[in-house]
Every structure is written in C-alpha cells, then in structure tokens.
C-alpha cells in the first residue's frame, strides 16, 4: 500500500500535501474548504497582530509561467486565526494545522508569540521571515544578524513547536550562513521557499500590478529550480531535528516527488492551488502515489532526501 503520510515534529499527517500560506487561506471559509479536502493540513494566511487590508489592487497577476503578487499581508488579524484553531483543537485534539504569523515590528512579533505561548494552542506555528511585499519592510531573513537575534530572543520564552518561512537564497555561502544560524535553535521545521521577491512582469509597456510600481513576489513554474535547490541545500546542512516543508513550483505529482527527493517532509502548493482550488490535493496525491508505485516506494522515507548525483 503506497502512503503519502508524513510527520513534522510530533504531528502526523495523512497526506504530505497542503496549501502554501497566502493562497485561499484568509478566511475560516477558505480554511474549512482545505480542511475538508484531501490536503493533509492547512496553513493560515500569515497573520499580523492587527487586521490588515493589504496593498491596493490589482495586487496579483498570472502569466503562462506563474504568478506575481504584492498582497501586502492582508489578513483578519491574529486573534481570528488563533480562536479558530483553538476551536478545532477543542473538537479534535489530534488535528494539526499551521498558524502562520509575523509582526509588523519585532515587538509585535514578540506580542504574538507570547500570546500563543500563553494560550492553550498546542499546534505548529510558522514565523514568516520572508514577506517581500510590505513597502519599507525588508525581508527579515535576508538580514542574518537580525534573524539570529530575533530567534535568540524568541526562544527565551517560546517553548512550543515553531518553524520559520524562508525566502530563497542564491549563493552557497548564504546557505551555509543561514543553516549555521538555524542550527543554533530548537526549530521544528523550516519552510523553503517563499516567492522570489521583487520581480517585475510587464504587459505591453505597463506593469501588471499596482503596488510598488509593479514589483512583486514571483511564484509558480518560474521558481521550482530555485525552490528545489533551497530545499536540498538546507536538507544537507540542517540538523535532522529541523524538518523541511518544500514550497515552490508544485503543480503535479512529479513536482511534489522532486521536493521530497530533495529532502522535504511536507509539500505546499501555492500558485497552482490558486488556479485549481481544493481538487488539486487529490489529483497531486494520486499522481505522487502512481510515481511511488512505479518505483516500488511504499512511503516517503523510502526516497526522502535520496537525490542522486552524477559521478
């Protein structure tokens, strides 16, 4: 029997496929649709301390090869998502999903995480260190000193399972440096990668999204090679207790298979989920199972991280 079940920390999931934060996950209605689909779990839209309207529209556009977005973290405010997750946890203590958060300042991030620490919430939390779309706020995880000092302070009080969402890195030295920082902390997982920040798509002579004069995060087919490289680079460098959620360019069972081959324990679907809605989780699970059956792999452990190199 071919199984796509997986584990992140002490949490078990029937299926390794789930949504990526940002796509169809802003409201309880969105999250319920994922919860009742074949997805193994959901992650919420990254929540800030206060509700945010985000950037002006149009703020997302599609091209034949993917998407560009500059949403600017629109969300319902962190208590909305925490209350919902607490109600799910009360009804079913075994349910496990991911609450994505970040503050608009370091102080706000601490307020959010301290609130979660002091709450009854026992599930996974993802700290988004990589949103490229808030004007004037750089992607935190491109500043290695800030990332290290922030995590150092967080882990003085935060004792629940925590992961971080990372931007893509493009240099071997940066993989080394970031992995050295991450390995200093009791992180449960990393999520690699967020969109490739600050791309530009042009239609005739004009940009296609309004915020930041058209600059926005790139997703979809464009980013799969970068995502695979980041997943595998961190798989090679992180201590085994830090697991990897692979995100970027997944629209088929083959793409999910490649993320797992590079070292991912769970795989998130962003742009393609936007196009195809919740039916995508069943389709990609079936395609992944067919590949595994063909290769006589029974579960993800049979091939996770076992990428072959040329001699």
Query: Among residues 186, 146, 184, 147, which one has the least CA distance to residue 165?
Result: 147
| Residue 199 binds ligand SIN (CB under 6 A) | no
Identity of the residue, 72 or 249, whose beta carbon is nearer to ligand SIN in the bound complex: 72
| Residue 139 binds ligand SIN (CB under 6 A) | no
Q: Which stretch binds ligand SIN (CB under 6 A): 5-13, 131-139, 250-258, 262-270?
A: 131-139
Residue 262 known to be catalytic: no
CB of 159 to ligand SIN, least distance (A): 25
| Distances, alpha carbon 281 to alpha carbons 20, 31, 108, 159, in Å | 12, 14, 34, 32
Site for ligand SIN in 37-56 (CB under 6 A): 46
Q: What share of the chain is helix, strand, coil (3-state, %, to 5)?
A: 40, 20, 40
Q: Are 190 and 234 in contact (CB under 8 A)?
A: yes
Site for ligand SIN in 203-222 (CB under 6 A): 217
For residue 36, the tally of other CB atoms under 10 A from its CB is 9
195 among annotated binding-site residues: yes
5 among annotated binding-site residues: no
Rounded CA gap, 283 and 79, in Å?
33
Element of type H or E holding 225? helix 224-237
248 among annotated binding-site residues: yes
Q: Which stretch binds ligand SIN (CB under 6 A): 36-44, 113-121, 123-131, 271-279?
A: 123-131
| Residue 22 binds ligand SIN (CB under 6 A) | yes
Rounded CA gap, 44 and 100, in Å?
6
Identity of the residue, 15 or 75, whose beta carbon is nearer to ligand SIN in the bound complex: 75
Q: Which of 16, 25, 131, 262 is catalytic?
A: 131
Q: Are 266 and 6 in contact (CB under 8 A)?
A: yes
128 among annotated binding-site residues: yes
Which residues in this chain contact ligand SIN in the complex, by CB under 6 A? 22, 46, 70-73, 128, 130-133, 194-195, 217
Known catalytic residues? 131
């Amino acid at each position: 029997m071919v199984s796509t079940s997986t584990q992140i920390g002490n949490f078990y999931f029937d299926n390794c496929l789930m949504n990526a934060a940002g796509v169809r996950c802003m409201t309880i209605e969105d999250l319920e649709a994922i919860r009742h689909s074949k997805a193994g779990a959901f992650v919420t839209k990254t929540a800030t301390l206060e509700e945010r309207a985000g950037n002006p529209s149009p703020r997302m556009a599609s091209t034949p090869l993917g998407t560009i977005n500059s949403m600017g973290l629109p969300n319902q405010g962190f208590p909305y998502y925490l209350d919902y997750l607490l109600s799910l946890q009360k009804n079913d203590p075994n349910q496990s999903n991911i609450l994505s958060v970040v503050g608009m300042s370091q102080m706000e991030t601490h307020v959010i995480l301290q609130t979660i620490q002091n709450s009854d919430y026992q599930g996974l939390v993802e700290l988004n260190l990589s949103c490229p779309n808030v004007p004037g706020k750089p992607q935190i995880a491109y500043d290695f000193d800030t990332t290290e000092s922030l995590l150092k302070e967080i882990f003085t009080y935060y004792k629940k399972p925590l992961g971080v969402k990372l931007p893509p890195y493009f240099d071997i030295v940066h993989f080394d440096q970031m992995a050295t920082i991450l390995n200093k902390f009791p992180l449960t997982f990393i999520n690699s990668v967020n969109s490739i920040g600050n791309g530009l798509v042009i239609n005739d002579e004009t940009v296609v999204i309004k915020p930041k004069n058209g600059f926005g995060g790139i997703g979809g087919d464009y980013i799969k090679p970068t995502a695979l490289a980041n997943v595998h680079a961190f798989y090679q460098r992180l201590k085994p207790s830090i697991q990897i959620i692979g995100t970027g360019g997944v629209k088929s069972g083959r793409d999910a298979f490649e993320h797992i081959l590079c070292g991912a324990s769970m795989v998130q679907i962003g742009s393609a989920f936007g196009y195809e809605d919740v039916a995508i989780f069943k389709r990609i699970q079936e395609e992944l199972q067919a590949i595994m059956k063909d290769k006589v792999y029974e579960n993800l452990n049979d091939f996770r991280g076992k990428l072959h190199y040329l001699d």
